[in-house]
Chain A
Amino acid sequence: MRHKKIAALLMSASILAGSYRVFALVPPNGSTTVIEGVCRIPEIEVTVPATGSVYINPLQLPVWIDSYSEDNQILSFPDAIQNQSEIPIIVNATVTGQVGESSDMILSTVSTKNAGFTSKRVFIYFEMMPANVENVLYWDYSSIEWVQAYDPAKHILVQNASNTKNNIITLAAAGKEGCCGAFRLAGDCVSFPTNEWNGNDQLTIGVAFTFEAVPPDQI
């Protein structure tokens, strides 16, 4: 009897010894990541020239513009706006003309060519065409294929009252072909008005641009 009792005790001790390293499941530990999501609306950034010049050339004298000579009655050195945004943008333009106080010049609503006008009239419109960074960088717009005649669907007539054309041009994203919008003023005038042209005949033209992003589903 005594033997059995001792033997039994030894057996149970050996079982415990084999299970010493108990695999204790770890109480769940937690670590947290907080993710904050926001909607990214691309910034619209456009470089716009501050000033420009336009010349009334009634006698169509030759004038050098860039590397070429022009003899149009309305001459302006082309300039450009440049899209610096990551996305293409729609350009809207509002043009307002203001004749100098000392001038009797009239902003005509129709071309003066062959119209028989004798009053001092000038017909001016704003035109915009796609251009590239190189045009702006080297100030060379000789490659721009300007429309040679006034087109109300594409151009903005200069008047005393403001005229707006929405989506006059869509500019490609920064750095891409067509990311710039070259613009100029063109038109004509009465060559020999009854009241001759003089130094008081001045004109100020304001061009205001607004921009909006092309909708994502149209990119």
Chain B
Amino acid sequence: MNTLKKRILSSVVAVAAAASMAVPAFAADPNTVVTGKYSETPIDVVVTTTADAIINPYGLGIKVEDSLGTSYPIMGKVVTNPMTVKNRSEYTLDVNVTAVTTATSGVSIVSSAPTASETTKQVKLDLQFATPSGITGMDELIGDAIISTYAASDTWSGAAAVALDGTTSGVSTTSAVATLKPADIQAGTFMGYGSEGIVLVRITGDCTTNPTGGWADTDGFETTVTYKFTPNTSAASSSSSSSSTAP
């Protein structure tokens, strides 16, 4: 009798133990699949495609007029009309450049300003970048501000500069010459350029004042500036592909 009870009891206990140890039922497929996808986000930058420069031995400079007819003189031995790089993206971008310069026959691109007694045709060229903070808004509203800011001498105080040379490989920067702040983007729509979202670019420099035989209007140079834009990783930004458009 006792043995049967014990057996039954032990069976019950065993069943109860087994029941308490029952493993929950898992899904037939225990695997998790993670899918990664490259998310393309455009970088939109507008760059001036062509510009004019003047070797200006007489120091005559050029005049640029805004929409109201106000004339701004731009003086110097080497001057250019205003050039810009404008960030329409929502990301902060570092700007680097490669610049290749060729001069016409008889003109040399030099690294130092020609002396007063120099008799050959020499030109010293510096590519400068300034990032003013006061030019914001849509394209239609900032044209005059660009001109007046470009013409102001204060704008270029402390501007980053790249000395151009006449080598076939040109010069390339490895440290950003400018940082473009993001544009005002709302619900995916460009609402205007943000503060410090526009870089003003110019070539400045010096030239021989009175070379033997004098300067001719066939004397000159051509510089091709290629920009490289990379997201500034120290800012809260993420990006993938890129595109750029000319104004």
Contacts and interface: CB of A to CB of B under 8 A. Distances in A.
Contacts of B210: 215-217
A42 B219 CA distance: 14
Contacts of B214: 215
Contact of A34 (B30, B49, B240): B49
A31 B55 contact: no
A24 B240 contact: yes
A26 interface: yes
B51 A23 contact: no
Nearest to B81: A35
Interface in A35-59: 35-42
A42 B56 CA distance: 9
B227 A38 contact: no
B7 interface: no
B19 interface: no
B204 to A, nearest CB: 12
A217 B116 contact: yes
B233 A41 contact: no
Interface string B201-215: 101000001100011
B60 A87 contact: yes
Q: Chain A's interface: helix, strand, loop or mixed, by majority?
A: mixed
Interface in B190-247: 201, 203, 209-210, 214-231, 233, 238-244, 246
A10 B34 CA distance: 11
Interface in A1-51: 6, 9-10, 13, 16-17, 20-42
B80 interface: yes
A86 interface: yes
A26 B209 contact: no
B32 interface: yes
A212 to B, nearest CB: 10
Contact of B54 (A16, A24, A40): A40
Given A25-B231, A26-B230, A217-B116, A37 B50 contact: no
Given A26-B231, A41-B215, A216 B222 contact: no
Contacts of A33: 47-51, 83, 201, 224-225, 227
Contact of B221 (A9, A23, A37, A217): A37
A219 interface: yes
Contacts of A20: 36
- Which among B58, B222, B223, B227 has the highest number of chain A CB atoms within 10 Å? B58
Contacts of B242: 26-27, 29
Nearest to B48: A33
Interface stretch (B38-46, B131-139, B181-189): B38-46
B151 interface: no
B18 to A, nearest CB: 17
A25 B230 contact: yes
B178 interface: no
Contact of A39 (B201, B219, B226, B240): B219
A69 B191 CA distance: 75
Interface of B: 26, 30-32, 34, 36, 38-39, 43, 45, 47-60, 78, 80, 83, 85, 116, 201, 203, 209-210, 214-231, 233, 238-244, 246
18 contacts: A22-B38, A23-B238, A24-B38, A29-B43, A30-B226, A32-B49, A33-B50, A33-B51, A36-B50, A37-B221, A39-B54, A39-B220, A42-B60, A87-B58, A215-B210, A216-B58, A216-B59, A216-B209
